[in-house]
Homo-oligomer: A and B are copies of this chain.
């Protein structure tokens, strides 16, 4: 069993939730997906994040996902669990339901739907932290939550031992630099992970401790190579790898008739199906899967970036 207190850095992909054509959790696909991540030596796995379609699951499904993921990972790497919901009490409920699983921490956003101010956000995170012995991560994702977590506030929560780190999906690289700088000055109470797949190299320069890339489901090897390059200071390799991954990320812009996770997560699932890792690209209700010509364009990009060769999946080889 992993130690909950160990700092979690490096590559921590937000795990997709493979589904059968009927919309049930596809356990064999999940096992292949997790297995490939572990073979490529990711540093952890983040279950029930936005890429895991957490917003779409009822409570039973959330538990089933955690059961499947922790069972499959079986302690080989730390698993973080998203406990994402509108307000404090529901998040607490998700935390209680997750206590029985082997988890290295929880990831929570600021409250949403009902507008929250600084006072409510502060009380929210402090209440969550007080309810568990496990590390708590703040998830800064304004595109979903519609509030940007403040640098000064995150740092104070870190200094006070409320949160252990921040998963930054804010798209605010200036804010991330400021947070990284202030964090270092304060003795680095926070671990900082970036969620932006195509600018991880810049985030490393800014001071990121790792990444939580949705695209890491599709190409874990690339993100692991980037992390190692960052650690060894090989910035030329880092940027070259990032450029290739940025090209790969173009898959999410192919579905011109879809937005949000139907486009982004949908593209990841479609790519993984084409790579032979998961069985379907079925999405959670009310989303529909990517079909037709868009699949061809995704396949073409997989080819251009070395993951698929002449119709044969070569991702594992390319990533080796």
| A residues apposed to B, CB below 8 Å | 50, 53, 55-59, 61, 84-90, 92-93, 111-117, 119-121, 123-124, 127, 143-146, 171-174, 177-178, 181, 196, 198-199, 201-203, 205-207, 233, 235-236, 238-239, 242-243, 246-247, 250, 257-262, 284-288
CB pair B117 A258 closer than 8 Å:
yes
Residues of B within 8 A of A86 (CB): 55-56, 85-86
Show 22 A/B contacts (Cβ-Cβ < 8 Å), sorted by A.
A50-B114, A56-B88, A56-B114, A57-B89, A86-B86, A88-B286, A115-B261, A116-B259, A117-B260, A120-B286, A121-B286, A171-B172, A171-B173, A174-B196, A178-B250, A181-B243, A181-B246, A201-B202, A201-B206, A205-B242, A233-B235, A233-B236
Q: CA–CA, A143 to B147, complex, Å?
A: 12
CB pair B119 A258 closer than 8 Å:
yes
CB distance from A284 to the nearest CB of B (A): 7
Q: CA–CA, A137 to B284, complex, Å?
A: 23
CB pair B177 A199 closer than 8 Å:
yes
Q: CA–CA, A177 to B55, complex, Å?
A: 29
CB distance from A134 to the nearest CB of B (A): 20
CB pair B117 A247 closer than 8 Å:
no
Q: Which residue of B lies closest to A57 (CB)?
A: B89
CB pair B58 A262 closer than 8 Å:
no
Residues of B within 8 A of A239 (CB): 205-206
Q: Which residue of B lies closest to A84 (CB)?
A: B113
- Given A88-B285, A285-B123, A286-B123, answer yes or no on A117-B259 (Cβ-Cβ < 8 Å): yes
Please indicate which of the listed interface residues A145, A173, A207 has the most CB atoms of chain B within 10 Å of its own CB: A173
CB pair A113 B55 closer than 8 Å:
yes
CB pair A87 B174 closer than 8 Å:
no
- Given A58-B89, A113-B55, answer yes or no on A288-B205 (Cβ-Cβ < 8 Å): no
CB pair B181 A261 closer than 8 Å:
no
Residues of B within 8 A of A284 (CB): 87, 89
CB distance from A205 to the nearest CB of B (A): 5
CB pair B202 A260 closer than 8 Å:
no
CB pair A87 B144 closer than 8 Å:
no
Residues of B within 8 A of A178 (CB): 198, 246, 250
**Which of B93, B111, B172, B201 makes the CB contact (< 8 A) with A58?**
B93
CB distance from A160 to the nearest CB of B (A): 16
Residues of B within 8 A of A233 (CB): 235-236
- Given A181-B243, A235-B205, A288-B123, answer yes or no on A115-B89 (Cβ-Cβ < 8 Å): no
Q: CA–CA, A135 to B145, complex, Å?
A: 30
- Given A124-B286, A246-B181, answer yes or no on A56-B205 (Cβ-Cβ < 8 Å): no
Residues of B within 8 A of A174 (CB): 171, 196, 198-199
CB pair A205 B115 closer than 8 Å:
no
